[in-house]
């Protein structure tokens, strides 16, 4: 079984002695028009933890992940990633966080290899390094034999594998996954599970939103359940979350047992 | 690697990616060229067989065809990104937003240059205009026009690509901004074809170059906001 190198973002300068939380959010809310996709949650996650983000459709999981990835800004609240103010230094945060969204974000007319070469260059690898990194990533996700095929010809599962391989071309300290098992076959799901384990081994913080609770909870240190844009339940270690600011009566403070 | 060379690498990588996608999606770029050539043909029919009238109108008609074709080109270059969430992914890469803008503007410039290089001989053939003697000033005019149009088009296509009525909004927002470019390019083309008897071509080319610089700087400075959802 291939074992590509997992690259990790270096610790930030000035934070060699102190370890800030991977995520420190206060009263995060995001409105779309008049509706609140995220209605006010405070969240603290220790570095290196794997957190399963659960909840029904419309609970706010994707919105939370997109805010953490800096794809959208919160309407209210503060957010620090690895000790960096994510609203002020979003450029710096982007070099530490990678995000696998619902959609794959691939270029249909490029081959799998060209898509990944593009991503690796954008993640700052030099031209001589790019080739090896891309081939190793393709090997890891089992797409090396079709590396020169255009993505347009791929099935949904193969596209998801290319998107997973793109994560392996980055040097993150945090990986955000939105329904990573969707569209994958049994081998593909096992690949995701294997990657979750390897990211955990090297100390990368992982937040994985999924409807496959049984699958991800067993791989996670903690679970965070959202409902209606609020924190509904927190279990496990290395995480604190509550929605007391938004709706103290409806969502009493929920704390996971800290290790 | 210095910040400049890193930015240049990113811009070239994006331009190469867009050019590859354009080349492989030949159907779309082919229909844009066909549409622009058809515009010239229809203008020819509308103006009638009067050679003098066609010669006088040729610079304006050439640039109208370039503008119409260019609108489709810059829109398509951003549509490539909008498909399947690639634009959001592009915005999440840890790279300077100015480099992303310049890369996409470079791809747009190349596509516009191809459009201009094909439409110039089409104008020469359809309207029986000898362009051989004026090829150098014509090439400079088309190049400066292509840079300016791509500079504006990249920024506005980025702004409108997520809108529902983007096909309407892009020309609505963009055409007033490119009016000075259109005017300068038409005047410079007319001067080049007429042998520049009044020595005005240099001034129009300078105006075009100034427009390009202002729009590139403005586009690079604002593209970060355009990428934000």
Q: How confident is the model at residue A107 (pLDDT cuts 50, 70, 90)?
A: very high
pLDDT in tens, A188-200: 999 999 999 999 9
Least confident of A15-19, B11-15, B168-172: A15-19
Tell me the average pLDDT of chain A: 89
Residue of A nearest to B25 (CA): A109
DSSP B84: G
> How close A234 gets to chain B, by Cα (Å)?
29
CB spacing of B84 vs A108 below 8 angstroms: yes
Q: How much is the pLDDT for A257?
A: 40
- The parent domain of residue B59 ranges over 3-227
Which among A73, A103, A122 has the least Cβ separation from residue B95? A122
Chain A partners of B229 at a C-beta cutoff of 8 Å?
71-72
Q: What are phi and psi of B196, to 5 degrees?
A: 50, 60
pLDDT in tens, A132-180: 999 999 999 999 999 999 999 999 999 999 999 999 999 999 999 999 9
pLDDT in tens, B51-99: 888 888 999 999 999 999 999 999 988 887 887 789 899 999 999 999 9
Position with higher pLDDT, B224 vs B27: B224
Q: How much is the pLDDT for A254?
A: 42
Asked if B124 and B130 count as a contact pair (C-beta separation under 8 A), the reply is yes
Instruction: Give the side-chain half-sphere CA count within 13 A for B192.
Output: 28
CB spacing of A109 vs B94 below 8 angstroms: no
Q: What's the 3-state SS for chain A?
A: CCCCCCCCCCCCCCCCCCCCCCEEEEEEEEEECCEEEEEEEEEEECCCCEEEEECCCCCCHHHHHHHHCCCCCCCEEEEEECCEECCCCHHHHHCCEEEECCCCCCCCCCEHHHHHHHHHHHCCCCHHHHHHHHHHHHHHCCCHHHCCCEHHHCCHHHHHHHHHHHHHCCCCCEEEEECCCCCCCHHHHHHHHHHHHHHHHCCCEEEEECCCHHHHHCCCCEEEEEECCEEEEEEECCEEEECCCCCCCCCCCEECCCC
Mean per-residue pLDDT for B172-182? Answer: 95
Interface of A with B (CB under 8 A): 69-73, 91-92, 94-95, 98-99, 101-110, 114, 118-119, 121-124, 126, 150
| pTM for this entry | 0.89
Number of domains in chain B: 1
Gap between the Cα atoms of A67 and A40, Å rounded: 13
Q: How much is the pLDDT for B141?
A: 96
Domains belonging to chain A, first-starting first, are: 21-96+173-259 (3.40.50.300), 106-171 (no CATH)
Chain B partners of A84 at a C-beta cutoff of 8 Å?
none
Gap between the Cα atoms of B92 and B95, Å rounded: 8
Q: How confident is the model at residue A54 (pLDDT cuts 50, 70, 90)?
A: very high
Which among A95, A101, A124 has the least Cβ separation from residue B85? A101
């Amino acid at each position: 079984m291939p074992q590509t190198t997992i690259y990790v973002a270096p610790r930030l300068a000035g934070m060699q002695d102190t370890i800030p939380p991977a995520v420190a959010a206060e009263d995060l809310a995001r409105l779309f028009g008049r509706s609140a996709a995220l209605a006010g949650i405070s969240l603290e996650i220790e570095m290196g933890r794997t957190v399963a983000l659960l909840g029904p459709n419309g609970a706010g999981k994707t919105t939370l992940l997109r805010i953490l990835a800096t794809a959208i800004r919160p309407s209210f609240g503060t957010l620090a990633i690895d000790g960096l103010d994510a609203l002020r230094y979003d450029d710096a945060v982007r070099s530490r966080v990678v995000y696998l969204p619902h959609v794959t974000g691939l270029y249909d007319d490029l081959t799998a290899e060209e898509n990944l070469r593009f991503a690796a260059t954008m993640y700052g690898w030099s031209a001589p390094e790019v080739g090896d990194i891309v081939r190793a990533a393709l090997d890891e996700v089992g797409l090396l034999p079709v590396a020169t095929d255009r993505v347009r010809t791929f099935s949904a599962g193969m596209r998801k594998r290319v998107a997973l391989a793109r994560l392996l071309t980055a040097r993150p300290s945090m990986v955000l996954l939105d329904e990573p098992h969707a569209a994958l076959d049994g081998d593909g799901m096992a690949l995701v599970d294997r990657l979750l384990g390897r990211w955990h081994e090297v100390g990368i913080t992982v937040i994985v939103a999924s409807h496959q609770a049984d699958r991800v909870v067993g791989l996670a240190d903690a679970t965070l359940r959202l409902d209606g844009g609020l924190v509904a339940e927190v279990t496990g270690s290395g995480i604190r979350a509550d929605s007391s600011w938004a709706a103290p009566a409806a969502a009493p403070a929920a704390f996971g047992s800290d290790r | 690697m210095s910040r400049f060379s890193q930015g240049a690498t990113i811009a070239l990588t994006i331009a190469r990616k867009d050019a590859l996608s354009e080349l492989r999606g030949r159907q779309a770029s082919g229909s844009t060229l066909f549409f622009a050539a058809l515009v010239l043909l229809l203008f020819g029919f509308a103006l009638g067989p009067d050679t003098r009238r066609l010669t006088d109108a040729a610079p304006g008609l050439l640039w109208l065809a370039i503008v119409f074709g260019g609108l489709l080109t810059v829109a398509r270059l951003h549509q490539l990104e909008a498909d399947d969430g690639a634009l959001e992914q592009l915005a999440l890469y840890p790279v300077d937003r100015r480099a992303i803008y310049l890369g996409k503007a470079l791809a747009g410039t190349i596509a516009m240059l191809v459009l201009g290089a094909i439409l110039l001989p089409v104008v020469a053939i359809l309207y029986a205009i000898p362009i051989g003697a004026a090829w150098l000033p014509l090439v400079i005019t088309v190049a400066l026009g292509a840079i300016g149009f791509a500079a504006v088009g990249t920024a506005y296509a980025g702004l409108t690509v997520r809108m529902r009525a983007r096909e309407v909004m892009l020309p609505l927002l963009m055409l007033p901004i490119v009016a000075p470019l259109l005017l300068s390019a038409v005047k410079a083309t007319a001067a080049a074809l007429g042998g520049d008897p009044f020595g005005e071509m240099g001034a129009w080319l300078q105006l075009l170059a100034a427009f390009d610089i202002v729009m590139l700087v403005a586009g690079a400075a604002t593209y970060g906001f355009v990428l934000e959802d």
